[in-house]
Amino acid sequence: MNLARRERLALCDLAQEVGRSAGTRCGDWDAGDLVAHLLVRERSPLGALGIAVGPLSGLADRAMARLQEQPYDVLVERLRSPGLTPYALPPVEVLANTLEYLVHHEDLLRGQPDWAPRSLAAADLDLVWRLVGVSGRMLVRPADVPVRVVRSDTGASTTLRRGADPVVVTGPVVEVTLFLFGRAAVRDVVLDGPDDRVDALRSASLGI
**Are 92 and 66 found together in one domain?**
yes
- State the CATH number of the domain containing residue 180: 3.30.1050
Close Cβ partners of 36 (under 8 Å, ≥ 6 residues apart): 63, 64, 67, 68, 75
User: Does a structural domain hold residue 117?
Assistant: no
- Give the pLDDT of residue 37: 96
**Are 91 and 13 found together in one domain?**
yes
Range of the domain at 75: 3-110
**Are 145 and 99 found together in one domain?**
no
Q: Per residue of the chain (208 residues), give pLDDT as tens.
A: 999 999 999 999 999 999 999 999 999 999 999 999 999 999 988 888 888 888 888 998 999 999 999 999 999 999 999 888 999 999 999 999 999 999 999 999 999 999 999 999 999 999 999 999 999 999 999 999 999 999 999 999 999 999 999 999 999 999 999 999 999 889 899 999 999 999 999 999 998 7
Amino acid present at 35: V
- Give the pLDDT of residue 122: 98
Number of domains in the chain: 2
- Give the pLDDT of residue 198: 96
User: Does a structural domain hold residue 42?
Assistant: yes
Domain final residue pick, 110, 143, 160: 110
User: Does a structural domain hold residue 208?
Assistant: no
Whole-angstrom Cα Rg for the chain: 17
Domain final residue pick, 81, 110, 139: 110
**Are 41 and 90 found together in one domain?**
yes
**Are 178 and 98 found together in one domain?**
no
CB atoms within 10 A of CB 77: 12
- Alpha helices, H only, the chain: 3-18, 31-43, 45-52, 57-67, 72-79, 90-110, 122-139, 173-180, 195-203
Q: What is the pTM of this model?
A: 0.94
Domain final residue pick, 70, 89, 110: 110
**Are 102 and 139 found together in one domain?**
no
- Give the pLDDT of residue 204: 92
**Are 137 and 84 found together in one domain?**
no
**Are 19 and 99 found together in one domain?**
yes
**Are 18 and 105 found together in one domain?**
yes
User: Could you tell me which of 48, 143, 25, 24 has the C-alpha nearest to residue 97?
Assistant: 48
Handedness of CA 89, 43, 32, 183 (dihedral sign): positive
